[in-house]
A and B are shown apart, each in its own frame.
Chain A
Amino acid sequence: MSQAKKPLPLWADIILIPIINILMALTVAGIIIYLIGENPFEAMKIMIYGAFGYDEAIGYTLYYATNFIFTGLAVAIAFHAALFNIGGEGQAYIGGLGVAILLLALDQYLPFWVLLPLAILASMIFGALWAAIPAYLQAYRGSHIVITTIMFNFIAANLMVYLLVNVFIVPGSMIPESRTFADNAWLPFMHEMFGWVGINISSSPLNLSFAIAIIVSILIWIFIWHTRWGYAIRAVGFSESAAHYAGISNKKIIMMTMLISGALAGMTGINEIMGVQHKLLLDFVAGYGFTGIAVALMGRNHPVGIILASILFGALYQGGAELTFDMPNISREMVTAIQGLIILFSGALAYMSRPWLEKLFGLFGSINKKIEVG
């Protein structure tokens, strides 16, 4: 009954299990596609081509990935302190509001290189503030952060509708959108930037914020594993009692972590508002905050994993759009379903395969021993 289990080798833990989980999710998705009456392998081929087959497709894939990197990092840093920030959606929305307010106020007066850092700061501050109240309530009043961040998603949605309909709307217009920013407040598109150095690529929404996202990922990697604050966050996340012994304040860590998490989610506004839409509009977050959960779980809360997972999800989004053209029976919401399946298999059921693997490895181990003995 209580056979001594050997721990799995490290590579199985950080590479094999995630891959098995994704394969399980994709298998279920494949079965669904098959049941709909389409060929799942054909669908996969179309999606891969649609996501990576030509330069415009790659542009779209990486544009989506940019959003997921921000929201994925937001969820991941909170996970490091054992907090579940489910409010990325609202924090991203409000972060976009911050960007828009700044750009609407100053786009007539300041040049791009001044606006850019200010806009980044605005997105971070607004996102952080939206996370601050749930964080405070968790740290000092003991309210469950999952519930409060969900509630704050809805409050954000209502607030934004109100602001767009009553405050930002262009007078005389029926569409709840702000005016378009002056073009000195636009982030350069990647195809423009390549154009400056004489390389021609097709136009896509991919813009400078992808580079910002990569830089932020590196900074977050450094912050979590190479600063004393990241040390304290991980200490609290792994063992609250040991952190207490070390004199690390749980409350302060909750506040700090959630502020950073909100700031990261808020930066989604840089890509969407300053990079692509160039105006404030409704629902530009479009579920990216929730995708961040899938991305963080799949990427094992590590920036490298998060970038890879973000590109995978970017490919799913972009390839999924492509799929709809070729297989009208399948809609792009299939991607949403796959996203959910990935959260299920690499989150809630993350260790389902572990006992099997342990047995398998145990078996191999004993076979090896027998060979050695023989």
Chain B
Amino acid sequence: MADSSIAINLRGISKSFGAVQANKNVNFSVPKGTIHGIVGENGAGKSTLMSILYGFYEADSGEIYIDGKETQIHNSTDAINAGIGMVHQHFMLVDNFTALENIMLGAESGMVLAKSISHAEIELEKLESEFGLWVDLHAQTEALPVGQQQRIEILKALYRGAKILILDEPTGVLTPQEADQLFSILRSLKNRGTTVIIITHKLREIIDLTDNVSVMRQGEIVANLKTLDTNQEELAELMVGRKIRMDLNKKPSDPKEVLLTVKDLSFTDNQDIQRLDSISFNVHAGEIVGIAGISGNGQSELLEILSGMRHCTEGQIIINNKEISPTDETDAQKVRQYSVGHVPEDRLKRGLISAFMTNESSILGYHKHSKFNNIILTNPSAIKKHCLHLMESFDVRPKDPSLKSANFSGGNQQKLILAREMDPKPKVLLVGQPTRGVDIGAIEFIHKHIIDMRDNGSAVLLVSGELDELISLADRILVMFEGKIVGEIEASIADEKTLGLMMANAHTQESTIEQAI
């Protein structure tokens, strides 16, 4: 089976972190001199797989063949020696080094730097002109635009003699122009015999760039396809998978007054990247508005701004007749008082404190509420009663308020958070990824409760990466792309194919969407 025309062949790779199985029996091979794409939603196990290939983690089982030879990769050095280079999603660069120093690091040609520098300068000049990878070698890395920093990473790999280049979400931080330049570099690498593996969740890139594509879902490879034989719609469907359309017995919505208004909302983060670009929409009482989009297109920032955790740079928010402008000094507690509930996207980092007892986590964000406090002391029996009440109403198990939050399963943690945020019957409910990592039984339960909130007159904004969840829960779906709202569709006429298309390729395909509708 020693086929040297195959650059990489993975057989039966499995890896788990504690109880989470990140990779399950993964098999695929990449022929030499091709560009291979790996697609999948967040958490599908793509990055773990590539980290195994680069020796950052060791697989629990399985074999790796490089150029047809079985290769043991225990650490990065082994990977480098096997001719593998990797461009990580978060660049592995030393900010206050020059580009040249970063490229040399670990591949110096002697004890004294002067010699290494002159040697590297000559070598890099060659590489730069060969692949069109122009970088100012003597500029400080942090002063360079992101696209240039990425080229440093590519040069780093090539300087070490990489014949196989792995790129993890390389376009996440790039402008479209920079992305186009990257692609032409990758094509010229391919033409000179380098094998390229690109991890992405942007389908357009797969179609434009790759020769073959593997689709990952929940740690497994669900399809290996020739790019020419597939299309974005098929990939989107494969990526999302999960065809359990539940019958929720949802009544048609009956929208009443507007409870949440967002007008020309823009947000630029402290790295000067515009995350939201004049977004406007309304959510009515008695309606669920879903936000679809591939993660990283501004949905998280939108939720954080609406919940008061961040301040927008421009625009206006009106929640339940209370106005918030960029200059208002609001925080999450103040916004909650406007009758807002917020189920955060990241349960463990935000939604609760794992080291807290669950009755403490059950008042996170409401800890100042008079219900839980006497004049000075907290009221432990009221808190415990409240926690038990939440546990009962959402069937959280085990029903033990003094158990540490960390000791509950993901589904039970999520139910507790939902219970906490829904219990005050907020006028506006912001929900992020309500069923991520939650077992099937709990999903149905959670969905029913969200619909109950709607039927009781709340305005619900739902951000989710699960398309079927959006379609079955929401009444209207807004699609976000690169910080803008690029489309709106009634949930009753939406299907995954249409949505996938809108999400993947929205700005160029509006006409197609109309046709699809």
Q: When A and B assemble into the complex, do they touch directly, with CB atoms less than 8 Å apart? A: yes
Interface window among A30-38, A245-253, A335-343: A245-253
A336 to B80, CA, bound (A): 50
Q: Of B335, B346, B364, which is within 8 A of A235 by CB?
A: B364
Interface centre among B363, B367, B377 (most CB of A within 10 A): B367
Q: Which residues of B contact A369 (CB under 8 A)?
A: none
Q: Which residues of A contact B356 (CB under 8 A)?
A: 234-235, 238
Interface status of A244 (Cβ within 8 A of chain B): yes
B251 to chain A, nearest CB (A): 32
Cβ B334 vs Cβ A239 within 8 A:
no
Interface window among A53-61, A114-122, A222-230: A222-230
A246 to B369, CA, bound (A): 12
Within 8 A of B (CB), among A4-51: 4
Interface status of B71 (Cβ within 8 A of chain A): no
A228 to B354, CA, bound (A): 18
Q: Of A4, A231, A247, A248, which is within 8 A of B360 by CB?
A: A231
A-binding residues in B (CB < 8 A): 16, 18, 58, 60, 307-309, 331-336, 342, 344, 346, 349-356, 360, 363-365, 367-368, 372-373, 376-378, 380
Cβ A245 vs Cβ B344 within 8 A:
yes
Q: Of A1, A2, A226, A242, which is within 8 A of B349 by CB?
A: A242
Interface status of A232 (Cβ within 8 A of chain B): yes
Cβ A4 vs Cβ B367 within 8 A:
no
Once A1-B58, A246-B332, A249-B331 are accepted as A-B contacts, the answer to whether A226 and B350 lie under 8 Å apart by CB is no
A228 to B351, CA, bound (A): 18
| 23 cross-chain CB contacts under 8 A | A1-B60, A2-B16, A226-B377, A226-B378, A228-B367, A228-B378, A231-B360, A231-B367, A232-B367, A235-B364, A235-B367, A238-B353, A239-B355, A241-B350, A242-B353, A244-B332, A245-B332, A245-B342, A245-B344, A246-B332, A247-B309, A247-B332, A247-B335
Q: Which residues of B contact A248 (CB under 8 A)?
A: 333
Q: Is the interface of A mostly helix, strand, loop or mixed?
A: helix
A227 to B355, CA, bound (A): 18
B438 to chain A, nearest CB (A): 19
Contacts A238-B356, A247-B336 known; list 4 others, CB within 8 Å. Answer: A227-B378, A228-B372, A241-B346, A245-B332
Cβ A247 vs Cβ B331 within 8 A:
yes
Cβ-closest chain A residue relative to B404: A10
Q: Of B344, B360, B376, which is within 8 A of A227 by CB?
A: B376
Cβ B350 vs Cβ A2 within 8 A:
no
Instruction: Bits for A252-274, please: 1 = Cβ < 8 Å to B, else 0.
Output: 00000000000000000000000
Interface centre among A232, A244, A245, A249 (most CB of B within 10 A): A245
Q: Which residues of A contact B60 (CB under 8 A)?
A: 1-2
Q: Is the interface of B mostly helix, strand, loop or mixed?
A: loop
Cβ B18 vs Cβ A242 within 8 A:
no
Cβ B377 vs Cβ A227 within 8 A:
yes
B497 to chain A, nearest CB (A): 35
Cβ B309 vs Cβ A228 within 8 A:
no
- Total contacting residues, chain A, CB less than 8 A: 21
Cβ B308 vs Cβ A247 within 8 A:
yes
Q: Which residues of A contact B331 (CB under 8 A)?
A: 247, 249
Cβ A238 vs Cβ B355 within 8 A:
yes
Cβ A239 vs Cβ B353 within 8 A:
yes
A34 to chain B, nearest CB (A): 41
B408 to chain A, nearest CB (A): 14
Cβ-closest chain A residue relative to B17: A2
Once A226-B378, A227-B377, A235-B353 are accepted as A-B contacts, the answer to whether A246 and B18 lie under 8 Å apart by CB is no
Cβ B380 vs Cβ A226 within 8 A:
yes
Q: Which residues of A contact B333 (CB under 8 A)?
A: 246-248
Q: Which residues of B contact A232 (CB under 8 A)?
A: 367
Once A4-B18, A227-B378, A239-B353 are accepted as A-B contacts, the answer to whether A245 and B365 lie under 8 Å apart by CB is yes
A26 to chain B, nearest CB (A): 30
Once A2-B60, A4-B18 are accepted as A-B contacts, the answer to whether A246 and B365 lie under 8 Å apart by CB is yes
B216 to chain A, nearest CB (A): 21
Cβ B332 vs Cβ A228 within 8 A:
no
Q: Which residues of B contact A4 (CB under 8 A)?
A: 18
Cβ-closest chain B residue relative to A10: B404
Cβ B18 vs Cβ A241 within 8 A:
no
Once A222-B377, A238-B356 are accepted as A-B contacts, the answer to whether A245 and B336 lie under 8 Å apart by CB is no
Once A1-B58, A234-B356, A235-B353 are accepted as A-B contacts, the answer to whether A246 and B364 lie under 8 Å apart by CB is yes
A226 to B367, CA, bound (A): 11
Q: Which residues of B contact A249 (CB under 8 A)?
A: 331
A249 to B330, CA, bound (A): 11
Q: Which residues of A contact B352 (CB under 8 A)?
A: 242
Cβ B350 vs Cβ A247 within 8 A:
no
B489 to chain A, nearest CB (A): 31
A349 to B334, CA, bound (A): 42
A42 to chain B, nearest CB (A): 44
Q: Which residues of B contact A226 (CB under 8 A)?
A: 377-378, 380
Q: Which residues of B contact A245 (CB under 8 A)?
A: 307, 309, 332, 342, 344, 350-351, 364-365
Cβ B376 vs Cβ A242 within 8 A:
no
A320 to B351, CA, bound (A): 50
Cβ-closest chain B residue relative to A1: B58
A1 to B16, CA, bound (A): 12
A238 to B364, CA, bound (A): 13
A249 to B368, CA, bound (A): 13
B244 to chain A, nearest CB (A): 29
B131 to chain A, nearest CB (A): 39
A234 to B378, CA, bound (A): 14
User: Which are the 5 A-B pairs with shortest beta-carbon distances?
Assistant: A247-B333, A247-B332, A246-B365, A245-B350, A247-B331
